[in-house]
């Protein structure tokens, strides 16, 4: 293919032979486009193409890429020529600072991976008690179980098992689950009350603090609902530790990481001063 210096589009109908460079990988990559002193190489184009590609795929993918590459380089050259030197210096300073930040942040993140991520139960409990106000609820939480099923599938045995909910009862209820329209039976975990109310609107008015420990049976035109609210917490309560654990863990680990990095930075400064890599001069 005869690539022109400032290639802005692929012109005409490309033959299969002409596009062979798109699927080959020569040792010395060929130049496919040039803008000023910037070059676009064949190997850059090859990375864009899937292993199995047609001629049409090549043109569809490569053409806009080359056009965009050329346009970006041309715009940069125009900007470089027309932007005042004072602005260029400002931009260079910003680029230098950004590069500096990228390097140092990556390095610190790399080092901070050495921070111990194991948190003992005692540490969790102590942190939770010391910082309980952080965990004041902003939304209601509930522990519950419920079943939605057809009225014809409701039996006295099922109602009794749902109420007592022993290990044997749970096994029996699980065996009937294919007949349930919907259900949630893990009543030991905390979930957002709004989430439950959205999922089962027929029970929305029944789910609240006053319903705790009550067994509720509700019917509508198509279904029967069995509901047992174990516990209900509102915005006057604190999040249980098990529910707050992901947040609690992140706070503890962040504090550890910050302490580690602060100590590391002090150590780096002290070592640099000791090795005369960093020297301070008296100001007149």
Can you give the pLDDT at residue 20? 38
Same structural domain, 125 and 189:
no
Can you give the pLDDT at residue 76? 95
Host domain of residue 69: 28-80
Residue 219 falls inside a structural domain? yes
**Domain count along the chain:** 3
Residues of the chain predicted below pLDDT 50: 1-27
Residue 205 falls inside a structural domain? yes
- Among candidate residues 228, 227, 251, the one with its CA nearest the CA of residue 239: 251
Same structural domain, 244 and 131:
yes
Same structural domain, 157 and 179:
yes
Can you give the pLDDT at residue 5? 36
Residue 202 falls inside a structural domain? yes
Same structural domain, 131 and 242:
yes
Model confidence over 227-262: pLDDT tens digits? 999 999 998 999 999 999 999 999 999 999 999 999
Same structural domain, 243 and 130:
yes
Same structural domain, 229 and 141:
yes
Same structural domain, 131 and 141:
no
Same structural domain, 142 and 206:
yes
- CA 171, 180, 182: angle at the middle one, nearest 5? 105
Residue 50 falls inside a structural domain? yes
CATH at 145: 3.10.50
Same structural domain, 154 and 227:
yes
Can you give the pLDDT at residue 27? 42
Same structural domain, 201 and 246:
no
Q: 3-state SS of 89-143?
A: HHHHHHHHHHHHHHHHHHHHHHHHCCCCCCCCHHHHHHHHHHCHHHHECCCCEEE
Same structural domain, 130 and 246:
yes
Can you give the pLDDT at residue 284? 67
Residue 264 falls inside a structural domain? no
Residue 129 falls inside a structural domain? yes
| Global pTM exceeds 0.75 | no
Residue 18 falls inside a structural domain? no
- For the chain, the straight-line distance linking the first and the last C-alpha, in angstroms and rounded, comes to 68
Question: CA–CA distance from 210 to each of 166, 214, 229, 243, 265 (Å)?
Answer: 24, 8, 9, 21, 54
Same structural domain, 191 and 214:
yes
Residue 158 falls inside a structural domain? yes
Can you give the pLDDT at residue 48? 82
């Amino acid at each position: 293919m005869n690539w022109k210096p400032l290639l802005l589009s692929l012109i005409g109908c490309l033959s299969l032979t002409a596009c062979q460079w798109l699927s080959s990988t020569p040792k010395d990559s060929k130049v496919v486009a040039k803008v000023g002193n910037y070059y676009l190489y064949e190997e850059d184009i090859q990375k864009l193409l899937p292993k199995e590609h047609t001629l049409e795929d090549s043109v569809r993918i490569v053409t806009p890429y080359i056009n965009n590459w050329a346009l970006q380089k041309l715009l940069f050259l125009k900007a470089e020529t027309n932007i005042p030197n004072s602005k260029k210096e400002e931009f260079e300073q910003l680029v230098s600072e950004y590069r500096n930040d990228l390097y140092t942040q990556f390095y610190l993140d790399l080092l901070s991976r050495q921070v111990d991520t194991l948190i003992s139960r005692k540490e969790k409990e102590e942190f939770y008690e010391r910082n309980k106000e952080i965990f004041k609820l902003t939304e209601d939480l509930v522990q519950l179980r419920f079943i939605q099923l057809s009225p014809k599938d409701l039996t006295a045995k099922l109602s009794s098992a749902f109420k007592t909910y022993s290990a044997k009862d749970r096994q029996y209820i699980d065996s009937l689950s294919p007949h349930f329209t919907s259900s949630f039976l893990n009543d030991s975990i905390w979930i957002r009350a709004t989430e439950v109310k959205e999922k089962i609107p027929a029970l929305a008015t029944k789910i609240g603090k006053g319903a705790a420990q009550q067994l509720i049976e509700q019917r509508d035109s198509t279904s029967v609902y069995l509901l047992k609210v174990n516990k209900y917490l509102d915005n006057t309560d604190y999040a249980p530790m098990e529910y707050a654990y992901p947040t609690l863990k992140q706070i503890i680990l962040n504090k550890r990481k910050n302490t580690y990095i602060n100590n590391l930075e002090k150590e780096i400064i002290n070592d640099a001063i000791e090795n005369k890599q960093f020297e301070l001069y008296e100001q007149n």
